[in-house]
Each structure stands twice: as C-alpha cells, then as structure tokens.
Structure 1
Amino acid sequence: MPRTPATASQDRSAVRSLLRLWPYVRPVRIRLFAAAFVAVLASCTGLVIPLVLKWMVDGPVADRDTAGVWLGALCLLLLGVAEALLFGLRRWLVARPLSHVEAEMRADLYGRLQRLPVAFHDRWASGQLLSRATSDLGLLRMFLAFPLTFLLVNSVTILFGVVIMLLQDWTLGLVILGPAIPVVVVCVYFENRYAVVARRSQDQAGDLTTVVEESVLGIRIIKGFGRHRSQALAFRELSSTLRGTELHKARLLATIWAVIVTLPEVAIGAALVLGVVQVADGELSAGTLVAFLSTALALRWPVDSIGFLLAMSQEAATATERYFEVMDEAPEEPDGHGGRAAASDGGLRFDGVTFRYPDASPDSPPTLDGVDLHIRPGESMALVGATGSGKTTLTALVPRLHEVTAGRITLDGEDITAMSREELRSRVAVAFEEPTLFSASVGENVLMGAADGAGAVELERALGVAQADFAHALPQGVETQVGEQGLSLSGGQRQRLALARAVVGQPRFLVLDDPLSALDVHTEAAVEAALRQVLADTTALIVAHRPSTVLLADRVALLSDGRVTAVGTHQELLRSNTEYAHLMSGEPSGTQFGTQFGEQEADRR
C-alpha cells in the first residue's frame, strides 16, 4: 500500500503557508501587481455602468430625449469594451511570469530531490513526489493566476460597490449588508473543514499515482502471476476512496455556495420591495433604484465567488505545504565538512565503521558494527557474506549514498567526508546488482560513468570489457533507445551495460555489487577475463556470491552480522573458515567440499 509520509498540521495557517511562495513570486511581482491593478480598474469600470443607467433613467428616458438615450448607450458600450480589454490585459500580464514561477519551482524541487539522501527516497513513495512536481505545482500556478488576484479584486469591488449603494440610499444599503456577518461566519467555518479534506484529497491522489507507476513498471510481474484483477481491485479501492473525498469536498463547497448565494439574493429581493415602495411614495427616484439594483447585481459575482476562491486558496495552501515538505527536508551533509587527519595508508580503508539506518529503532543492532578493513592500492577484495549480513550497505557507504554513523572511510588516506561529493564520485565508480538504465540510448547510458568529453573510444573500450558487443547488433547500434528501466533488454544485457558504465571512466576505485549475477557461464567467463585487466590498474571492492566472482579478487573479506570476521585469500579461508566454506559450497558440510574446490581452483589459476 502506498505510504503518505506527511499529514495536515492541526495548527496550519493558509496565509502563512502561501506567504512561503513569495521568494518565487518576488522576481515577477511588478507584472503581478500591474495585473492586479488592471483587474481592479476593470472591475471598478463595471461599477460605473449603474451610474450611467441612473443618469439615463432620470434624464433622457424621463425627458424622452432620444439623443440622450443614444449617448448613454454609447457610453455603456464603451465601458463594456474597456472592461473586457482590461481583463484581457490582466490575463496577458500574468501568463508568462506565472509559467516562469511554475518552471522555477519545479526545477528547484527536482534539484532538491537530487541532493536529498538515499534514506529520504527509501522512505517516500515515488507517486507522492510525482504528484508534488505535477498536480500540486499546477494548483499553485492556477492560484497565482486567478484566486490570488480576484480575492483582492473582488474585495475592492465589494467595498466600492457598498459605498456606492450607501451613497445612493443608506436604508437600502443596510438591507444589502444584512447577510454580511452570517456569510463571514460560514466562510470561517468552511475554511477550517475544507482545509483538512483538501489535504486528504491531495495525499490520496499521490497514493493513486504511486499505484499507477508501480503497476506500469511491474507490468511483467502482474501479467506473469496473473494478478491483474487484484491490482485492478486495489486501484479501484483507492480510486473509490479518492472519489469519496472529492465528493466530500463538493458537498462542503455546495454548502458554502448555497449560503453565500442565497442570503445576498434574499437581501436583494428585500431591497427591491423596499425600493419600489419608496419610489411609489416619491421618496426615491426610479433612476436611483435602477442604479442601486444594478450595483447590487454587479456585486453578485464577487460575492458568489468567495466560496470558490476560498476553496482554491485552501487547495493552493495544502499544495504549498506539500511542496515545502520536500524542500524542507535536510539535504546531504555539506561537502568537505572536515574529516580527521589523513592516514598514511593508501587504498581504501574502513576504520571502525558503524552504520544504522536513520529510521531504524534505536534499540535494534546496527547494520554494520565496527568494520575494519583495508584494501591496498591496486588490490581487489571480494566481500562475501550471507544474505542480510550488510554487504550492499557497506558498498553504499563508499560513494556516500549513506553516511557512516561512526568511524570513517578513507581513500588513499583522505577521509571521504573531507572531500566534495563530486570529487569523491569522480574517484569511485559503482555497479549495483540491480542495474538501472534510463530512457536514453545505449551509448548515453554507458557514458554517464565517464567524464565530460568522453566519446566513441571510451565507449568501445567499456563495451569490450563488459562483453557488451551485443549493443552493435541492436537496430540503431549504440544509438538505440533502451526504453524505461531498460526493460527492452535482458537482465544479463542490462547488467553488462551497467558494468560498462562503471569502468568507462577508468576510475581509481571500483565498487561492484555482485555485477555478474545475471550472466550465463560462458559470458561470465569472458567478462571475468576482460575485467581482470581492469582490476589490475584499480583498487576494487567486489561483493561476490559465487566462487567464480571471488576468484577475481586478490583477497577475500567475510562479513557476518555486520562485522568482518575473517580476511585472507580464497584458499586460506576455504581451509580455515567453516562459514566461508559453507557459503562457497552451498552445502551444510561445505568445509570438505569447499577445500577440494579451492584446491581445484588454485590449480586452474
């Protein structure tokens, strides 16, 4: 089930949340302020129309002045055209800057996601992050384009309209103002309840996005196990939950709209009856009543839209909160924050390294506990251990995908925390057991591991080492697009391309996490033969599960329950360590078998 890592805060403030958008709005504030001013001017232009009607009714119409009527009609036409042009100008003013704001926010979010530690990505569902980068930012752009402006415009319009009505007849004006207090009370109540439901809806939309993404990426598993009905049922349940939340939002919005629309309509009806009585008694001119009612009707949209604008503002506030939940996450520790004094040993050294995952229980044992290991310059060391012993975690610490909890790791005597990540990762190349390829060409995927400027020569060399010459037989050769996750290739082909990516830059340090697990016997032998030439010029740590991979290394370290329990050559450990012999043989009585196997392999080498 998708995880929603954050929930709405009980003491949230929509205004406080939305104010966090100011750094992004500030560069385009002049155009936004100009757009707001133009919109206010257009709205106020509309309020002049009732005054023209008053003049026409009490003047030319009452006096049967045809020329005056045509003059009034021309004024009304010009006012209408001016209002339309001003609103069009407002839209033109906001279109470009708001698309820029959205693009900047999306770029910042993507950049922050790249800088956040791996532990963050382990904790968050990808669909939640995708929904923040797409639908949430779309809501914010809509808020800046429409509700933000028209909350101001409609407030100013209502204020001026009420002043005009009070000046025309204060008794009728008080009748119109009667519903103001109940409307305000209902709006406050509505805002608090709608905020909770809006947040729930956006989180559920993120969960639904996660399900869709996982279903697309795992379509082979779903089809292979015939689980499409159960997946469809899970999707339908989440979709139904989201539908229920959206209906709840609709009911809340309908309630507030009903109150906001009904009370002013009743007030207008009452003002109409009272005004007609005053006209009949000669206390009010017909023109004044027409102007008063026209003004009241002109205020219907600004008043009626309050609920709609508040709803959009609340959704924008929750979208802002969700956006800054990611932006407020602490990125990886700053580069070069100061390591200990450099040691005299070269190569790769683990010195008392302890590691516990950030979300692990404080009472649980650490994943790695006091690991001491030294891989000499130019040496290859195989890392062997049972499943769950911490091998992959240890390799992830070298390029600082995770930060050590205690102890330190040095490269050629320099603490890795004392160098920038860019420098560290230029020295260390990695290949993981689960190869990840991107929606790009074969060549682009491989050259991601090389420095800028690398070309065909480096690509061909890396493909040769990884025995990935199959790339030339693809429809467009190395320019062939491999597709999302590289699923158009076999597991062995993906693994060979990942290995090519690791060696293309001729790194000084190489970390390989069981890089040959998906290869057949013959391909594995060919890759090993080429890889030995690469390992002769680099310092390497190789996670190995099979004896053939272990034989690539000069020495072997046995990792057991997060500790290095033995270090030696393959033959030494086979003879002296029962656990190692068992791991190599796969049999309970692995010592005798493993010793025999070691002697045979020694003869082969």
Structure 2
Amino acid sequence: MRTKGDHQSGVRNLWRLRRYLRPYRLQFAFLILAALAGTAVGIAVPLVIRRVVDGPIAHHDPGGLFALGALALLFGVAEATLTFIRRWSQSSQALGMEATIRQDIYAHLQRLPVAFHDRWQSGQLLARVTADLSVIRRFLSFGLLFLIVNLATYAVVVGLLIRLHWPLGLLVAASSVPLVVVSRRFTHTYLRTSRRMQDEQGDLATQVEETARGLRTVKSFGRQAFMSGQFGSGADRLRDTAVDKGRQLAGTSAQFDLVPNLTLAAVLVAGAVEVAAGRLTIGELVAFVTLQLMLIWPIESLGWIIGNAQEAMTASDRIYEVLDAPPSIVDRPNAAKAANVKGEVCFDDVWFSYPGSDRPVLRGISLTVRPGETLAVVGTTGCGKTTLVSLVPRLYDVTSGRITLDGRDIRDLRMCSLREVVGVAFEEPTLFSMSVRENLALGRTDATDDEIHEALALAQADFVDDLPWGLDTRVGEQGLSLSGGQRQRLALARAILSRPRVLVLDDPLSALDVHTEALVEKALAGVLSDTTALLVVHRPSTIALADRVALLAGGVIVATGTHSELLATVPAYRAVLSEAATTAEAA
C-alpha cells in the first residue's frame, strides 16, 4: 500500500531525472517552442474564421474570402510542418535519454557488492532496466511535452474565450473545477495500482528467468505442470492488475470527456441566446465554439498524461531504489596499485557477518599463507569456507579485523589492481553467452591463442578442440551446452590464464570424474608451485595439493598443520575427511 509520502518520493525521484534532460536541453527547448508555435498557429485559425464569417461572408465579399481562406490554409500548412519537425526530433531525444539512463543503471549494478545481488531478484532488476525505463522515456519525451503544451493551450484559449465573451468564457473556465477533483482522486488510486503492476511484472520476469535456468531440474522432476500453474497464477495477478489499471484510466478518461462536452452543450445554448439578443455575432460564436473545441483534446488527453506521470513516478522510484543503493565495497581515497606482489596473505582477527544479520559467520580468524604456499581449507558444509576465501578478492568486506597482502590491507589497494593479482575459480562456474575464447579472456584480454591453449591443457580442457568452431564456439547461456565438468575446467583455465599471484579455488574439481581430477591435480601442482593458493576442499584427494591444511568449524580455525599432522592428532579432522570420503563415494 503506497502512502502520501510515497507519492512525494515519486515526484522527487521523477524530478531528479531532469539531469538526463540536460544534454538535450536545447533540443527540448526547441521542441517546446515548435509545439507552442504549432499550437499558436492552430489557435489563430478560429480567429481567422471569425473574420471570414463576420466579414466576407456577411458582406458578400469574394475577394476577402479568398484572401482569408489562403491565410487559413497557410496557417494549416505551418501547423503541419511544425508538428512534423517536433515529432521527428522527439524520437532521437527520447531514445538518447533512455539509453543514457540504462547505461548508468547497468554500470551502477556492476559497482554494487555481491551482497546486494544476493538479496535482489534478477527479474526485478531486468524489469527496471527495460519496462520501467520505457515508461520514463514516454513521459519525458511525450507526456511532459504534452503536459506543458496542453496547459499553455488551455490557459491561452480560456483567456481568448473570456476576451471574446466573458460570461461564456468564465463558464468554460469554471469547468476546470470538476476536472481538478477527478484528477486528485485518480492520482491517489492509479499510483498504487501502477506500482503494484510494475512489481508484478518484475516477479513474473524473475519466474521466467529462473525457470529457463532451471529447466533441466524442472523436467527431471516432472514439475512442468506445477511451474506452469505458478506462472499462470502470477500472470493472472498481473492481468487483473492491468485490467484494474485500465478500468481506472477508462473511467477517468470518460469523465474528462464528459465535462468539456457538457460545457460545450451549455455554451451552444447560451451562445444562441446571446446571438439572438444581439450581444454576440455569429462569427464570434463560431470562433468561440471552434476555440472551445480545441480544448477537448488537451482535456481528454489529461487522463493519459496524468496516468503516464503516475507510472513514471513509480518507475523512477523503482529505478532509484537501485541507483541509490550505495556501493559498499569501494576504493579508499588513497588506495594504491598492487605492485611487485609476492603473495603473502594474512587474515588478522577477521570477523564477518552477512549484511542484515548479526550472527557472525567467521569469528576471529587469524591465519597466514606464505608466498608460494598452498593452504587447503577443510570443514563441514556451512562452516564458512567459501565465505572465508571470498573475502580475499573483496567480493565481501570483513566486518572487523583485516586481510593483508604482503603486509598491506587489501582495502588500501585498488580493487581493479587487487583482482588482477587474485584469480578465482568457484565450485559453481559462471560462463557467459559468448565464445570459449571470450569467456577465457575475461580476466586477461591480451592473452594469445598459445597462452589460452596452455591454460586449457593445464585444466585438462582439451575438449575445446573438438567443439564445432574450437575457441570461437559459443557456449550458450550459463554455458549449459557443456557438461558440469567441462564448465568447471573452463573456469579453472580462466583463473590460470590470468596468471595470478594469489589463486583462490573453491572446490573447482567437484564435477570431475576421478581420472580427470587426477590429471588436473597433477597439472595444478606445477601451477601452484610458485603461486600462493587457498583451496576450499571437499574431496580428500585434493588435499594432496596443499602444503598445509586449516580446519574450519563454526566459523573458527580450530587446527592448522600438514595433512599427516592433523590426521594423526585431530579427531575432528579425521571425521570431516571420513564424511567427505563417504559423500564422494556416494556421488
């Protein structure tokens, strides 16, 4: 339920969008001038008609009739020309503003922390970048222009009507009172309905996106009918809201149509009486009625303009919900570039809680990984292993304590520089709908084909050579045209290709068969020989890559040492490995 405060927020956020008009302010001013000039020419036509009726027609003057007729024709051509110019230049301005806002939102989304994206549905973000921007574009380019022009038209025409015949002119002016009452009632209800509809569009987009990504799961469980039912319920809610929105707009438009028509009827009757009494000429009555007819479109369009403005307010609210989200992980003012990195990583009394939670996931972690050392992090599911290694490339920031690289707090390093020296491969590999080469070169765009093939060989990803177009083969959305093991090997090759000084591997071999895993581990041993590495380990076989092992339990490091030392002295370590071995055999 939206409140008055929310309406004020919508007005404020819509006003904030004016900065996107600034690059087009001269063009927008020209549009306003062209529209006002076209309206002025249109208003002049009834005044010419008045002269025609009371002059050449009343006095049977053919010469004057042709002259005034030619003038009216000239005005008509001028109005048509100005309308063409306005509409022609309007599109480029509107689309330019929309593109600029869309680019700003996308760039801001890249700056926002992972925690933000953990909370937000992707469909809601998609709806804001597409549907909501289209609503704002329509208002800034058409609604706002027509609002200015129609208000100016109404004021000028009413002023001329009062000048032509003040009693009838005041009658027309008084008809604005019920229009104001209708408008206030309409804006109160339509705003809430618009917001509800835009939110439901985002929910539906999320469902489509999630179903497309999880289609294999849906099919494997035979839940197509269930998911279709859920989607149908969401679609029905959206339809009902859209129908309610259309009903409100139709009802208001009918009232906006009724008021000027009733006023016109009253003017015709009263005007006829005035003509009969000699207080008004026929030409003046014709000009009066013609001018009054020019108010019908501005008044009838008022419902659409107000509705479009309400939609733009809620859309700007939704957009600024994203744009106002602060990037919490940013470079410090004096952040420096990471140079001559040796690779010593130190966790110094690190505590971490996820945003919005007061329960610490990591508690007082103190741990040092020496340059060139490989440290395996072992623990039961949910103990905080992935969270721990995600702090190194600053996907999240520590709640307290610090992490240092070669003795320097990583928050004092530029993020782009830090992420150049820290390579990452996660258990759930992320591939994009682009070629194999483009996916691999995300971390190092200047990599040669030879270097790419070397990284593929180390990751045992030679299957790329058998793809239809080799490195130029597009892997499809999320890389789903490949198997899970193939995706993991490509993600590992991508991390290796970036030549990091620190390599973070979050169980990147979980989808590999035993034979392939052994080959990858053998190749990785060479890569890790001169690279600092943190390995999140679930399979006991991967521990062989590590120089040391850290046992994590309940967010605390409970033991560190070599594999053999922990195996001999720490029962909890033996229990974790036993559980992992049982899980691996079951898989």
Q: Same fold (TM over 0.5)?
A: yes
In structure 2, the partner of 1:316 is 312
Q: Could you tell me which of 348, 352, 357 is aligned with 2:354?
A: 357
Greater shift after overlay, 350-359 or 579-588? 579-588
The aligned counterpart of 1:593 is none
- Tell whether the 8 Å contact from 2:113 to 2:327 is kept in structure 1 after alignment: yes
Q: 1:404 aligns with which of 398, 406, 409?
A: 398
Deviations 1:41-87 (A, max 9, x none): 10111111111111111112222333333333322222121111111
Q: Secondary structure at the match of 1:21?
A: helix
Q: Distance in 1 between matches of 2:186 and 2:7?
A: 16
- Counterpart contact for 1:57–1:286, Cα < 8 Å: yes
Equivalent residue for 2:101? 105
Q: Residues 503 and 588 from structure 1, CA distance in 2 versus in 1: closer, same or farther, beyond 3 angstroms?
A: closer
2:550 matches 1:568: no
- Whether 1:511 and 2:504 are equivalent positions in the alignment is yes
Residue-by-residue CA offset, 1:329-353 (whole Å, 9 max, x unaligned): 01133313579xx9x9961111111
Matching residue within 25, 30, 49 for 2:45? 49
> What does residue 554 of structure 1 align with?
547
How many Å separate the matches in 1 of 2:190 and 2:219?
Answer: 40
Trace 1:62-461 onto structure 2 (pairs within 5 A). Answer: 62-336=58-332, 347-360=344-357, 362=358, 364=359, 366-450=360-444, 452-461=445-454
Distance 1:420 1:156, change over 3 A: same
Q: Kindly indicate whether the alpha-carbon contact (under 8 Å) linking 2:539 and 2:580 is maintained by their aligned counterparts in 1.
A: no
User: Where does residue 469 of structure 2 map in the other structure?
Assistant: 476
**Offset of residue 104 of structure 1:** 1.2
Instruction: After TM superposition, give the deviation of residue 567 of structure 1 in Å.
Output: 0.6
Aligned residues: 580
8 Å contact from structure 2 (residues 376, 537) kept in 1: yes
Give the match's secondary structure for 1:63: coil
Is 1:8–1:196's contact at 8 Å kept on the other side of the alignment? no
Distance in 2 (alpha carbons) for counterparts of 1:7 and 1:579: 56
1:253: Cα distance to partner?
1.4
Deviation at 1:107, TM superposition (A): 0.8
Q: Could you tell me how far apart the structure 2 residues matched to 1:161 and 1:7 are?
A: 36
Q: Cα deviation per residue 1:286-319 (whole Å; 9 max; x = unaligned)?
A: 1111000000001110111111101101111111
| CA offsets 1:464-491 (integer angstroms, 9 cap, x no match) | 1100000011000111000100000000
Is the contact made by 1:347 and 1:413 (CA closer than 8 Å) also made in structure 2? yes
1:594 matched residue in structure 2? none
Taking structure 2 as the reference length, what is the TM-score of the superposition? 0.95
Give the Cα–Cα distance (whole angstroms) in 1 for the partners of residues 157 and 27 of structure 2.
26
Matched, 1:577 2:573: no
Q: Which residues of structure 1 form unaligned runs of 5+? A: 591-605
Query: Contact (CA 8 Å) 2:10, 2:317: kept in 1 or not?
Result: no
Among candidates 452, 455, 464, match of residue 457 of structure 2: 464
Of the structure 1 ranges 407-416 and 556-565, higher mean CA displacement relative to structure 2 is found in: 407-416
For the 8 Å contact 1:347–1:376, the answer to whether it is kept is yes
Please say if residues 342 and 501 of structure 2, whose CA atoms lie closer than 8 Å, have aligned partners that are also in contact: no
Aligned to 1:586, the other structure's residue is in SS state: helix
The separation in 2 between residues aligned to 1:483 and 1:448, in whole angstroms, is 16
* 1:531 maps to 2:524: yes
Q: CA RMSD in A?
A: 2.1
Normalising by structure 1, we get a TM-score of 0.93
Task: Say if 1:206 and 1:106 are closer, same or farther in 2 by CA, change over 3 A.
Answer: same
Deviation at 1:119, TM superposition (A): 0.5
Q: CA deviation at 1:197?
A: 1.3
Query: CA shift at 1:14, angstroms?
Result: 4.2
Question: Does the 8 A contact of 2:105 with 2:323 survive in 1?
Answer: yes
Q: Secondary structure at the match of 1:86?
A: helix
Q: Distance in 2 between matches of 1:589 and 1:524?
A: 17
The reply to whether residue 520 of structure 1 matches residue 516 of structure 2 is no
Report the CA distance shift for 1:587/1:354 in structure 2 as closer, same or farther (over 3 A).
closer
Comparing 68-77 and 38-47, the one that deviates more: 68-77
In 1, distance between residues paired with 2:144 and 2:462? 58
